[in-house]
Amino acid sequence: MASISHNRKNGRRQIQFRDTDGSRKTIRLGKVSRKAAEIVKTQVEHLIASKALSSPLKPQTSEWLKTIDLVLYSRIAAVGLIEGRKSALLGEYLSDYISKRSRSDAKPLTVKKWNTTKKLLTKFYGESRDIRTITAGDAKDFRLRLMAQRKNDGSPKYRASTLGKHIEIVKLFFAAAADDEVVEKNVFNGVESSKATDESREYFVTRDEIARCIKAAPDWQWQTIIALCRYGGLRCPSEVLLLKWDDILWHEDRFIVHSPKTEHHQGKDKRVVPLFPELRKELDEAFAITGGVPGPVITRYRDADANLRTTFGKIINRAGLSRWPKLFQNLRASRQTELEESFPTHVVCKWMGNSLQVARKHYLQTTEDHFKKATQKATQLSAALARHASHEGAFGPGKGRSPVKTLVEISGGGTRTDQ
Q: What is the pLDDT of residues 200-234, one digit of tens each?
A: 788 999 999 999 999 999 999 999 999 999 999 99
Residue 83 lies in a domain: no
Pairing of strands 24-30, 248-249: unpaired
Q: Provide the CATH number for the domain around residue 164.
A: 1.10.150.130
**One-letter identity of residue 131:** I
Residue 181 lies in a domain: yes
Look at residues 173, 196, 219 and tell me which one is the last residue of a structural domain. Answer: 196
pLDDT digits (tens, 9 = 90+) for 108-133: 889 999 999 999 999 999 999 999 89
190 & 258 share domain? no
392 & 361 share domain? no
CA dihedral 67, 71, 72, 78 (to 10 degrees): 130
Structural domain that includes position 56: 3-78
Per-residue pLDDT band for 363 (boundaries 50, 70, 90) equals low
Residue 417 lies in a domain: no
229 & 358 share domain? yes
Q: Is the predicted pLDDT of residue 380 greater than 80, yes or no?
A: no
235 & 252 share domain? yes
Which of 78-92, 121-135, 288-302 is modeled with the greatest confidence? 121-135
Overall pTM > 0.75? no
Spatial separation of the C-alpha atoms in residues 57 and 44, rounded to whole Å? 11
Residue 415 lies in a domain: no
Judged on CB neighbours under 10 Å (0-12, 13-18, 19+), 87 is middle
Q: Is the predicted pLDDT of residue 88 greater than 90, yes or no?
A: no
225 & 178 share domain? no
356 & 257 share domain? yes
292 & 326 share domain? yes
120 with 176: CB under 8 angstroms? no
Average pLDDT (80-91) is 85
How many beta carbons lie within 10 A of that of residue 372, not counting itself?
10
382 with 390: CB under 8 angstroms? no
46: Cβ contacts below 8 Å, ≥ 6 apart: 57, 58, 61
313 & 356 share domain? yes
72 & 134 share domain? no
Look at residues 78, 101, 135 and tell me which one is the last residue of a structural domain. Answer: 78
Indicate the average pLDDT of the chain.
Answer: 86
231 & 120 share domain? no
209 & 320 share domain? yes
Look at residues 162, 196, 230 and tell me which one is the last residue of a structural domain. Answer: 196
Judged on CB neighbours under 10 Å (0-12, 13-18, 19+), 336 is buried
Residue-level pLDDT at 357 = 74
Residue 95 lies in a domain: yes
Spatial separation of the C-alpha atoms in residues 43 and 39, rounded to whole Å? 6
DSSP code of 58? P
Spatial separation of the C-alpha atoms in residues 354 and 342, rounded to whole Å? 18
258 with 243: CB under 8 angstroms? yes
Q: Provide the CATH number for the domain around residue 288.
A: 1.10.443.10
Q: How many domains does the chain divide into? A: 4
pLDDT digits (tens, 9 = 90+) for 298-314: 998 887 567 899 999 99
230 & 344 share domain? yes
Average pLDDT (150-170) is 91
Residue 220 lies in a domain: yes
Residue 84 lies in a domain: no
Per-residue pLDDT band for 374 (boundaries 50, 70, 90) equals low
Average pLDDT (21-48) is 92
Residue 41 lies in a domain: yes
How many beta carbons lie within 10 A of that of residue 246, not counting itself?
13
SS3 for 270? Answer: strand
* CA angle, residues 65, 69, 74, in degrees to nearest 5: 75
Spatial separation of the C-alpha atoms in residues 165 and 114, rounded to whole Å? 10
